[in-house]
Every structure is written in C-alpha cells, then in structure tokens.
Structure 1
Amino acid sequence: MIRDPQALHALLADVREFTQTVCLPLEAQIDAHDAMPEAVVDGMRRLGLFGHSIPAAYGGAGLTTEELALVNIEVSQASPTFRARFGGNTGIAAESLIVDGTEAQRQRYLPRMASGELTGCFALTEPEAGSDAISLTTTARREGDDFVLNGHKCFITNAPIAGLFTVFARTEAGRGAAGISAFLVERGTPGLTTPEPPRKMGQHGSPVGEVILQDCRVPASSVVGGEALLGQGFRTAMKTLNKQRINLAGLCVGPAIRLVHEMVARARARQQFGQAIGEFQLVQQMIAESNTEVHAARALVLETARKRDAGEDVTMEASMCKVFATEMCGRVADRAVQVFGGSGYMAGNVAERFFRDVRLFRLYEGTTQIHWLNIAKRTLAAGGAGV
C-alpha cells in the first residue's frame, strides 16, 4: 500500500542519494576496520532512517509494509552493514513495542528510537535455542514486584551498542511457548553485560554479540504489553518476525540489484580473447539468470507486503519471501564472483565482499531449512488451497 506516491518518490530519491554519495565510498574502509563512522550514523538520523517503520504518533514516518520494502530495496544496494545499524529500530526491536507494547512503553521508548537516540536489539537466540527458539533457557523469576533474569543470549545484532534490549525469558517452566515472556531491559541495568563482540565472516561494521544476564532485576512493568501479556512473549516474537521476514527479503533484493550492475560493468570492461567477456554466451547466461531472479524476488516481496497491508495473514508468504530472496541473493553473489574471475576471490573486491556479507541472510530470521518445513506444514494443512 503506497499512500502518497509523490512523497514516497521523494523519500526514495533521498535514500538513493545518501546510499550513493555517503555509503558506497565507505564500504571498503568499513569492511577493513569493522567500524561504522559516527558521522554516517548522524546522517542516518537526519534522514529519519531510524524511524521509518515507527508510527507518526511516536515521531516516525509510519511507513506501510510495501513502502518499507521499497526503502529496504533501495538502501541495501550499499553494503548490508549500513542498514543493520538502524535496522533494529525499523525492524524487530521496535516492532515488538508497536504490536504489543503498552502505551506507556511506547511513549517511553519509541520517540527515542525513531530519532536514533536509542538503538534497540532483539535478544531471542541462545547457544542451544536458535531455530528451536521455544527451547530457550533464560529464566525470569518473580520476586515481589520485580523479575530477576538469568541467561545467555548470542548472535544478537547491535547488542554491543544497544541501549534497549527486548529479552525473551521463561517465566513458567515446562509450558513451552506459553511460558515465555518478553522484557524491556535498558543498558546500565545491573546484571546485564555485553562482552566484546567477535569478528564475523562479513557485514563488518555491524556489531553482533552476546548478552549476559546475571541476577538482572527489572520491574514487572518492563514486561512487553504489561502483566496482561505475561507468558505471551513468544507470540509477540512471531508477530514481529513475520514483518521482519518481509523486510529481510527486501534487503536481499537490493544487494542482488547492485551485483547485477557490477557484473554488467565487469563484463563490459574485462577483455579476453580479444573481446569483452560480456560477448560470451555463458557469461550472458549468468547475468540473465541473476536479473530474472531479482525481478521474481522483488515481485514476490511487494505482493506479500501488499497482502500484509491489506490485513491478510501472510505467515506462509513471509516464509516464502525469506527463503526465495535469501537463496536468490546467495546465487547472484556466487555468480558475481564467477564473472569477476580470480579478482572476485581477492579481498577488497566488491564481489568478494558481498559474497561474505549476504551469506548471513540464509541463517537469521529462521534458516532456509526451517522455513521450508514451515511452508510445507502450512501447505499440507491447507490441502493445497491458496496455491
């Protein structure tokens, strides 16, 4: 759903200019030094990137799912690390508050998240609870008007720099999803620490790390949605992830578009056997396949976004978007390395860098294999209806 085409066109133009003039020239530097310049983050704040999905009532732009998908496709044509810096605030970290937070919680946090003053993160994954998130072992023990949290979270995007943590913990033992609650924990709360982040394969400049909770005491008012939603944290997580999976799919279309452009430029410039390699049909095939898959993924993402904006249940379609777009992006990145040849394997090359960066997409927000299972279960349960 696009509410104002002219306003959206202007927004996309601003994002495109920021991406092209600010982000692209810094890609190699950030990859090498694993740090995002604060001046770039300030530019993101001025452009309003932190608040795109946050409702206007709380200082954001209140973009629809389709509008946000188009922004994600645009901004992710630069290295994925740029979007990751503000992505929690336009994705899962803010979305749990938007869908289930109390009004007091929204008023306290969302305006600061929309401005970029406060960075949020979504602390669900644990060493033994990734795809099987219901197996999480972090506990929240009731003590009077407080809860005491103990546990270990890992692979949490923006954990080292976040000011607000949405922490999922078990408030009732042995009740599966029904015993999980979500808590809002501010940095500086005694008992919450974030160790030094490890170096990753790719997406350098986007800090990912652990969250350690040792007798971390928070008031009962920190339960997302208040005590009325005690034990409903897993449902909050799933509602949040449905939208984020569409966002992530859009974030896979952007790098694939960029890589098609890079492949075309390389195929025109590189000479072999007395002619540009773009004249060879097998090189043309790799470019044609990539461009076709980009168009297919973009169409699927936008169609699913429109359905969600129309109020339809898109749980299965969101999984389809996530699987198809992430796998597509990986294939395009692999072809880009092939078109670039030996130089595509060398550090500092755009194809090599994106090959590393996009590999993560097939792992988080549910692995490809988990989504195949979810799609199959829903298709079988529906008897094939809706195909």
Structure 2
Amino acid sequence: MTDILDLFPQYAEELKLLRKTAREFAQRNFSPELARELDKKEEFPWDLYRKAGELGLLAPSIPTEYNGGGFSTYLADIVVTEELVRAEPTLGTAIMSGPFSSHLLYFFGTEEQKKKYLPPVYKGETTFFGAYTEPEHGTDITQLNTVAERKGDKFIIRGMKTFITNAPTAKYGVLLAQTEPEKRHRGQTLFIIHTDWPGVTIRKLTGKMGQRSIPVGEIYLDNVEVPIDYVVGGEKGINQGFYWTLAYFNVSRIGPAAMAVGLMLSAFDKALEYAKKRVQFGQQIINFQLIQEKLGRMAMLIEAARSLVYRAAYYVDDYIKFKIDPRAMAAITSAAKVFATDAANQVIDDAIQIHGGYGYFEEFDVERYWRDHRVTRIYEGTNEINLLTIVDALRRDVWKP
C-alpha cells in the first residue's frame, strides 16, 4: 500500500516510527466509552494528556531541551495529530489542543521564558492558552478593548477575553492586549499571564455542541500588574503582538486541518465497516451503488485534503527559517484549513447517512464526530476569512496555485 510519508523520504522512516508510537499509545489508552463519558461530563482527559507528554507526543517538533519530541520537521506534529484523532476524535482533539499557542512562545519568547514555561506544558503537567478573542473582536483583532497601560517597569492590564481554549485548566498562557490604542494593530503586545495572579478571574464556558472535552473559558483582567519581564520576547516584543500572532497563525491553522483529516478517517473507518456488515434486501449495503458512490467520494476527499495538509506542514520548516513570504504561507495554510474542514463536513455527514437512523445515536459515535468537527470551520480563523487571506496573496502576486 502507498504511504503518504514516502513523499518525504528524508523523514519517512522516523515519522513512521513516531506514527507507530502514537498508534500504540491510542490502542492502549483510548476507548469510545471513555470518550462518551468525558464528552457528557465536559472533562479534560488529564491522565491521557500526562501519558502523551511522557512519550513526547504533545510537541513532536519542539527541541528536547524544552521537553519536546526533538523531530526536525513540523510534519511530526501533523502525523501525531492525525493518528490520535483518527483513533478517537474526542480524546485526540483534546490531547493535541492542550499545548495550544505554546508554539507562539517557542517562536518569539526569550530563552528564559521558553525554558521556564514550555517544559511543564510538554510534560503534560499543565495546558496552555492563547487569549486573542474578545466579545466584540473575534475575526477582527486589529483593535482590542483589552488595554495594557505602562507604569514604569510594569503594565496594568484591564479587559476581557472569551472563547479561550484551555483557560479553565492552564496555569498560564499568552494574551494579546493594546499597549498603544491609538496605533490600533501596530500598538499591540503579547504578555505571559498566570491564571492565579491577583485580578485574573477565569470562568468556564459549558454547553458546547462538540469538542466538549476541550475546556474553554473567559478571562477577566481587573488591573492586573504584569512586570515587563512577562512581555513575550522581552522589551523588543512591545508593539509586536499583532504581527507575531499572525505569524503564529500561519502555522497553527494547520492544526484544525490535521484534526479534520483525522476526523474524516475515523468517520470513514466506521462507515466502511458498517457498510460491510449491515444487510438490507438480502445483501450488504456496500453492494448498493449509492453507498458505493458515497464511500468513493469520501475516500477521494480524504486523500485530497490529506495531501494538501501535509504539503502545507512541509512548508512550515522553510517558513520558520524565513524562506517563504508570510503572505504566501498564510495562503497555503489557509487553503489547507478551508479545504480539509469543508471536506470533513461532507465526509462525516455521509458517514452518518450510511449508518441511517443508527448514525443519529451516540452508540455509533459518528454523531459525536460531527459535533467535534463542526467548530474546525470557525476557530483559527473562520473559513470565510481564510478564503479572503488566499485572495489577498493572489492580489499581491506573492502566491498562486
């Protein structure tokens, strides 16, 4: 059988071993029963998260000095994400979302900041958050209501962030605030924020449609005093927040795309197995041409999405070495994110349809896969804004198909 990793011969063997490690970890620890339980309780799989950290699965491409996996290519992150999500979408997405936004600190933090804050995350001791979204500023973060006012060698931060992944479970994370409001996006700065600091209040948000094992919350900041040492990147990071956030998104939006591929594969596995077992009119339903048409299109969409996602991930290695124009990289990863998540919408819906009435009940899991998938078309930039990002690159002649 063909293997997509063979398209990257310089990494193929080590990535296959990594995939094997991730697969065996999932086989030992994942179960639909656990996923259903945590989905209902809206609980994070702490035990699995810590075990994944022990195996170096939480940040495969981060150097070992920060407790990462030490792989030399970002493809490693995609391999693990796809494998764990395929094994069990609810558990896989939760585990791989635990370190969310920690790569931003790896890219732009000082050496002291990275050594202090990254190892506990990648060991599975804490999650991490990236606080960008506000009630009045979701897709548009060019002007924020959260303000950081400088007072000597510290900042006083006031404001609120919402829909913040891992806010209820993380000990700390990064937060984007206006340091010079009159400059709009040119006057934004990233700060490291601890959730137990005076003036910081976290409120967990419940009742989500899907990805219910991934904790999400609101962060309230009431005159929080933040020493200048907690500016991401130190003094040079002041007023660089908007640009560094976009640079990080150029990489991070591949995450939902990889999750979408894993979700599609899991739904396809279930649908194919069911079609071979389910008997109607005296024969397996896989013999019916309309079922065959669905399975054929599902396989086609998965292959196309997977190829696009892996290609985008491969480019990350050059992007972080400043070999690719940021707007071109934004277009490449936006294309992967939009295509993969839109494809997942169709593939998982077809999986439910193949199951018929059973697909609508939790026992057969595919309804949960659809709920877990749906938000991938919204977070990390809505698919609509990502399409505009693609057109921006085309208009500027920095990228084209």
**CA deviation profile, 1:225-271 (whole Å, cap 9, x unmatched):** 11112011011111111111122211111110111111111111111
The separation in 1 between residues aligned to 2:81 and 2:138, in whole angstroms, is: 25
Give the structure 2 partner of residue 124 of structure 1: 132
Once the 2 structures are TM-superposed, how far is the Cα of residue 308 of structure 1 from its aligned partner? 2.3
The separation in 2 between residues aligned to 1:289 and 1:273, in whole angstroms, is: 24
Structure 1 gaps, min length 5: none
Aligned partner of residue 167 in structure 2, secondary structure: coil
Give the structure 1 partner of residue 241 of structure 2: 233
Query: Which of the numbers 130, 139, 145 marks the counterpart of 1:137?
Result: 145
In structure 2, what residue type is equivalent to 1:225?
G
Contact kept in structure 2, 1:148 and 1:215, CA below 8 Å: yes
Check if 1:34 corresponds to 2:42.
yes
**CA deviation profile, 1:72-105 (whole Å, cap 9, x unmatched):** 1111113444344443555x42111111111111
Check if 1:199 corresponds to 2:211.
no
The more displaced of 220-229 and 344-353 is 344-353
Aligned partner of residue 77 in structure 1, secondary structure: helix
Check if 1:250 corresponds to 2:262.
no
Query: Which of the numbers 4, 9, 27 marks the counterpart of 2:16?
Result: 9
Aligned partner of residue 225 in structure 2, secondary structure: strand
Structure 2 gaps, min length 5: 1-7
How many aligned residue pairs are there? Answer: 385
Query: Which of the numbers 317, 321, 325 marks the counterpart of 2:336?
Result: 321
Give matches, 1:339-354, under 5 Å. 339-354=354-369
Check if 1:333 corresponds to 2:342.
no
Give the structure 1 partner of residue 379 of structure 2: 364
The more displaced of 300-309 and 351-360 is 300-309
Contact kept in structure 2, 1:54 and 1:94, CA below 8 Å: no
Give matches, 1:1-387, under 5 Å. 4-25=11-32, 26-63=34-71, 64-88=73-97, 90=99, 92-310=100-318, 311-313=323-325, 314-382=329-397, 386-387=400-401
Contact kept in structure 1, 2:156 and 2:225, CA below 8 Å: yes
Contact kept in structure 2, 1:122 and 1:166, CA below 8 Å: yes
**CA deviation profile, 1:154-203 (whole Å, cap 9, x unmatched):** 11111100111201100001212111100001121111111132221111
Question: Alpha carbons of 1:193 and 1:84: their partners in 2 closer, same or farther (altered >3 Å)?
Answer: farther
The more displaced of 290-299 and 239-248 is 239-248
The separation in 2 between residues aligned to 1:348 and 1:132, in whole angstroms, is: 40
Aligned partner of residue 142 in structure 2, secondary structure: helix
Question: Alpha carbons of 1:54 and 1:127: their partners in 2 closer, same or farther (altered >3 Å)?
Answer: same
Once the 2 structures are TM-superposed, how far is the Cα of residue 347 of structure 1 from its aligned partner? 3.3
Contact kept in structure 2, 1:86 and 1:119, CA below 8 Å: no
The separation in 2 between residues aligned to 1:344 and 1:129, in whole angstroms, is: 37
Contact kept in structure 1, 2:134 and 2:161, CA below 8 Å: yes
The separation in 1 between residues aligned to 2:115 and 2:91, in whole angstroms, is: 27
Contact kept in structure 1, 2:204 and 2:216, CA below 8 Å: no
In structure 1, what residue type is equivalent to 2:42?
D
Contact kept in structure 1, 2:159 and 2:222, CA below 8 Å: yes
In structure 1, what residue type is equivalent to 2:220?
I
In structure 2, what residue type is equivalent to 1:328?
A
Contact kept in structure 1, 2:57 and 2:80, CA below 8 Å: no
Contact kept in structure 1, 2:175 and 2:193, CA below 8 Å: yes
The more displaced of 241-250 and 354-363 is 241-250
Aligned partner of residue 131 in structure 1, secondary structure: coil
Q: TM-score, length-normalised on structure 2? A: 0.91
Once the 2 structures are TM-superposed, how far is the Cα of residue 40 of structure 1 from its aligned partner? 2.2
The more displaced of 326-335 and 62-71 is 62-71
Contact kept in structure 2, 1:85 and 1:158, CA below 8 Å: no
Query: Cα RMSD between the aligned structures?
Result: 1.8
Q: Identity across aligned pairs (percent)?
A: 36
Contact kept in structure 1, 2:305 and 2:343, CA below 8 Å: yes
The separation in 1 between residues aligned to 2:342 and 2:228, in whole angstroms, is: 41
The separation in 1 between residues aligned to 2:9 and 2:227, in whole angstroms, is: 40
Contact kept in structure 1, 2:101 and 2:174, CA below 8 Å: yes
Contact kept in structure 2, 1:79 and 1:203, CA below 8 Å: no
The separation in 2 between residues aligned to 1:5 and 1:347, in whole angstroms, is: 37
The separation in 1 between residues aligned to 2:90 and 2:142, in whole angstroms, is: 29
Once the 2 structures are TM-superposed, how far is the Cα of residue 45 of structure 1 from its aligned partner? 2.4
Question: Alpha carbons of 1:100 and 1:38: their partners in 2 closer, same or farther (altered >3 Å)?
Answer: closer
The separation in 2 between residues aligned to 1:152 and 1:167, in whole angstroms, is: 10
Contact kept in structure 2, 1:54 and 1:114, CA below 8 Å: no
The separation in 2 between residues aligned to 1:142 and 1:319, in whole angstroms, is: 35
